[in-house]
Amino acid sequence: MCGIVGYLGSNQAAPVLLSKLRVLEYRGYDSAGVAVIEAGRLNVIKAAGKLSNLETLLQSQRPQATVGIGHTRWATHGTPNDLNAHPHISANGTLAIVHNGIIENYADLRQELTDRGYVFVSDTDTEVVAHLLSREMDKGADLLGAILQVVKQIKGAYALGIVSQNQPDRIYAVNHHYSLTVGMGENESFLASDSTAVRQYTNKIIRLEQSEIAEITAHSVRLFDFAGKESTREPVSLESDPYKIDKSGFKHFLLKEIHEQPLVLRQTLSKYMTGAEDPINFNVEHFKPTGNGANDKMGLYGVRLTENEIKGIERIHIVACGTAYHAALIGKCIIEELCSLPVDVEIASEIRGRKLLVNERTLTVAVSQSGETADTLAAIKEAKKKGSYTLGITNRPDSHLAQITENLIVTECGIEVSVAATKTYVAQLACFYLLGIYLAEQRGAVSKAKLKELKGGLLQMPALIEQILGRAEDYRQESLKLADANDVVFIGRGFNFPTALEGALKLKELSYIHASGYAAGELKHGPIAVLDSTVPVITVLVPGKVYEKTLSNAQESRARQARMVAVAVDGDEKAPKTFEHIFRIPPVDEFFSPIPACVPMQLMSYYVADFLGKDVDQPRNLAKSVTVE
């Protein structure tokens, strides 16, 4: 949640800050603001609502400044309004601060400061830090000294950006269990909570480590730990191509990202599977095993576990939140099916305050699109303390998760701009299939013939999704028939129970229609009470072990006059006898069906939301990266 940016150099700061905030708006769009030092004085400009409101103010005021910080907010403390928008200023008006995270002891600190005469104008925890810094500076400390004193007083996980009109040639950044990146250009420096915003301007970066302070000038960066000890670290070079926000002719980023899924799968699979070296033109024919043993094995680059360590694993524990949690549930099905290993999946936030039962013979897998999800990071850190092997699945190789896990699988999605996850979800599924096959291969859990069959089946998925996307107009027409619903129920079994959960989440995220996902067999244990002629029941119905039972559960819904909708394969002759509307997909093996089955529901949710006039790319109350607990 929330995005921090900063700039100092010889160019005008406001346009650079605004450009970087556009890249980070996915992190929060409740409000936005900048603080620049103009003619030696601090000038704070901020506005509630989306970034366009701040842009209008900047265009009218045109501040002339070459140093500043900015912020885009997802509200935690205080409602979204102008007063609660960042930056916040100190009591003497000389210092401004932007903040990600939560100050856990802010209430006590606020009361202490209030008792000492400090006046608060916002409801945020951030303003507490501004006043604490001001108090330390009133005692005679310089800004760095004040920061070193304040970090001893505040508790929580946070990142800060700070400017002072008394030191207009520098920005201070503070990182404590968060993520901040400093970019080094030619006589200019950049700060951002996501390296993507920095890479528009430079590919030379320094990532702040945990509990680290950076003193940034246009020419240099000095690094200090929280005890004040200085250290040095050379910048690292990233890919130089700047990230550009481009809808490529699509109406929304979400629709573009849905259509990018075949390419994303090809890129991810080509990275890890033998013989797949062309991510653009890749198809199943490129997969040609050499027939000489080890060379046919999958190479999960970034997974450093030895064959003996993999064989010694007795249990796998997966932690994730939101859409990543749904991918993890399918990952459980995959790994248990292939490896006969017990797999537990937990919502990462539910681990806090409970005993985490992992040990040195457990592999703990953390799944996070951004690699910055606070609850997931906390869970994986706890697992690491207990001696568990750790593995991260993320879209961001420069993320906090990537830094703290011993093993890493990176999805090849590029930046996903739309808040609702689509291509990253499909890529996470692909990574779980890759991981399951890899573990089975290393453990000798399945035959060579079966491994070849599994790899070939996985390689068919990009082309299968392309076929589904070719039916988008048919899906749109069927989808609009659901736009009048107030409540929708999704059901599935086995591999596609999580698909039902993800379908329900997408619909309510995008359209704000209340939707619930259930295991199909659980419908009769309570949820069936909500069914009547106004409630659509959407069933994921794929031939396989649980086909007949899923169909039977759907017929129980039909008996209650529910509106019957299915995701079913071509050639299914039973489905039309039960369902009024069918989203058809090409025939697919039940084992791989979660990948193609989710795509019609992504499109359905998009078309319904767009028809209802919702903000598809930035749904209300949501942010892309959940960096608070």
Report the alpha-carbon distance of residue 202 to residue 334 in Å, rounded. 41
Spatial neighbors of 409 by CB under 8 A, at least 6 apart, are 272, 300, 302, 303, 391, 392, 393, 394, 431, 434, 435
CA 535 to chain centre: 31
155 is catalytic: no
CB 360 within 8 A of CB 333: no
Tokens of 427: 């890529």
Q: Helix crossing, 461-469 with 448-459: angle to 10°?
A: 30
DSSP label of 527: G
Q: Helix crossing, 472-479 with 594-611: angle to 10°?
A: 60
3-state secondary structure 151-191: CCCCCEEEEEEEEECCCCCCEEEEEECCCCEEEECCCCEEE
Report the alpha-carbon distance of residue 623 to residue 629 in Å, rounded. 13
Secondary structure tally for the chain: helices H, strands E: 20, 25
Catalytic residue among 20, 46, 204, 624, which? 624
Peptide bond into 342 cis (omega under 30): no
CB 68 within 8 A of CB 100: no
Q: Which amino acid is at 292?
A: N
Q: In this structure, is the dihedral angle defined by the CA atoms of residues 139, 142, 145 and 149, taken in order, positive or negative? A: positive
CA angle centred on 241, ends 240 and 244, rounded to 5°: 140
CB 125 within 8 A of CB 102: yes
CB 491 within 8 A of CB 523: yes
Report H helices in 340-396. 374-385
Torsion of CA 120, 122, 126, 130, to 10 degrees: -40
Q: Which of 589, 550, 555, 587 is nearest to 572 (CA)?
A: 587
Catalytic residue among 2, 333, 339, 431, which? 2
Coil, helix or strand at residue 457:
helix
Tokens of 485: 């619903």
Report the alpha-carbon distance of residue 555 to residue 112 in Å, rounded. 63
Q: What is the phi-psi region of residue 435: left when phi exceeds 0, alpha when psi lies from -120 to 50, beta otherwise?
A: alpha
In the block, tokens 């409801």 appear at 123
Q: Counting every residue, how long is the chain?
A: 629
DSSP label of 379: H
Tokens of 390: 């750790």
Coil, helix or strand at residue 216:
strand
In the block, tokens 């070719």 appear at 470
SS3 content of the chain, % helix, strand, coil (to 5): 40, 20, 40
Spatial neighbors of 195 by CB under 8 A, at least 6 apart, are 181, 183, 205, 207, 238, 398
2 is catalytic: yes
Spatial neighbors of 167 by CB under 8 A, at least 6 apart, are 142, 143
Active site residues per annotation: 2, 624
